[in-house]
Amino acid sequence: MPLETPIPSVADRAAELNRRYRHHGATSVLERALSDPLVGRIALVSSFGAESVVLLHLVSVMDRTTPVIFIDTQMLFAETLVYQMELAERLGLTDVRRITPAPRDIAMTDPDGTLNQRNKDACCDLRKTVPLQHALHGFDAWITGRKRFQSGTRAALEFFEPEGDARIKINPLAHWAPEDVREYMTENRLPRHPLVAKGYPSIGCAPCTSPVKDGEDPRAGRWRGEEKTECGIHFVDGKMVRQPVSEGQTQ
């Protein structure tokens, strides 16, 4: 769908969308985002991780032809790859795009697959951030499953964020609590990632993901023992992309 022209900048578009939908719920935000001309061409980016099934199911109900971008870093758990194929088929998603790092980049930068042991940021950039940016070329916006409760760096998350001057990032589930996620899965009888039952509430690449103990932050198993908290796909020019909540705004 072509973009509306009166509001040209990404930041202005995001601000206007937040104004339009600040009192809406997650389902309404996603449904409107898929059809609002101000959003433009849109894709869902999914890791097919622990909570991904919620957004994937919502999209399958609203418009199963929505492009779904799945970044296969080639270091994912085998369970994630099987889950991805089974879930896409079960939900009837018709445009799942499995993206992998460029073989030439892997050969030049990480030929033996040990970059994650030396430089985790560089590994994420090589295997996830760069492939995603290539995959998002031609899209005006992308949907994420990020939520405020997941970590302190996401506490001020809004529904719509400007990603630099490139595109808008949409977070329909930003205000959901853990119980909202669980209830949605239960009510819709959605299959869970098999690793969740083994103590993995947040699932990334196998070398950098470990089980989480009771009482720990759900993302404590991601890059355990490191200062790193994000893979990098939510950064622009090395900085977290986050739009502050406007004074007096409620959502």
For 135-154, write each residue's pLDDT tens digit: 999 999 999 998 876 555 55
Dihedral of alpha carbons 134, 135, 138, 143, sign: negative
The CATH number of 10-240, from 3.40.50.720, 3.40.50.620, 1.10.3720.10, 3.30.360.10, is: 3.40.50.620
Q: Backbone phi, then psi, for 134, in 5-degree steps?
A: -65, -45
Q: Decide: residue 179, CB within 10 A, 0-12 exposed, 13-18 middle, 19+ buried.
A: exposed
Which of 43, 48, 46 has its CA nearest to residue 63? 43
Which residue's entry shows tokens 């889950």? 83
- Is the CB of residue 72 less than 8 Å from the CB of residue 102? no
Q: Backbone phi, then psi, for 202, in 5-degree steps?
A: -140, 125
Residue 134 above 90 pLDDT? yes
- Domain boundaries, given as residue ranges, for the chain: 10-240
Residue 192 above 80 pLDDT? yes
Which of 172, 215, 221 has its CA nearest to residue 196? 221
Q: What is the pTM of this model?
A: 0.84
Tokens describing residue 175: 């205000």
| CA atoms of 14 and 242, how far apart (whole Å) | 11
pLDDT at 229: 57
How is the beta sheet containing 96-99 ordered, strand by strand? 96-99, 68-71, 42-45, 141-143, 167-170, 160-163
Tokens describing residue 151: 């970590």
Task: Enumerate the active-site residues.
Answer: 231
Q: Please give the share of the chain, as a percent, with pLDDT higher than 90.
A: 71
Residue 17 above 50 pLDDT? yes
Residue 58 above 90 pLDDT? yes
